[in-house]
Amino acid sequence: MKCGCGGSFEEKIQEIQGIKCNVMVCGSCREIVFTIEQSKIFHKMKQIQDELAKENKKISRVGNSMGITLPAKLKELGYDIGKSLDIRILDSKHLVIELFT
């Protein structure tokens, strides 16, 4: 796929509005465009991100442990009851929750 500047687009992972997604990036001018499929995936993740931002989550007690609830909309991304998660601490205020595939 050619860019208006004459360069070629390559598929790369970029962070756009806080979401890491596949996009097409021109090797010359660095213009970013989406394919139709990339756009659909980005917009689905953006909708879920916006829904998550609306809700304030609280930590609850589960036996002697702590827990949080996740919105059902995350099922569209493969999260579901019984799935395994990897949780890592970035710093004292940030966690990363990653779905094992």
User: Tell me: the pLDDT tens digits for 53-80?
Assistant: 888 889 999 999 999 988 888 898 889 9
Domains of the chain plus CATH, in order, are: 1-54 (3.10.20.860), 58-101 (2.10.260)
| pTM listed for this prediction | 0.74
Q: How confident is the model at residue 52 (pLDDT cuts 50, 70, 90)?
A: confident
Whether the per-residue pLDDT at 25 is higher than 90: the answer is: yes
C-alpha pair distances (Å), 14 with each of 26, 66, 88, 90, 93: 13, 33, 22, 20, 24
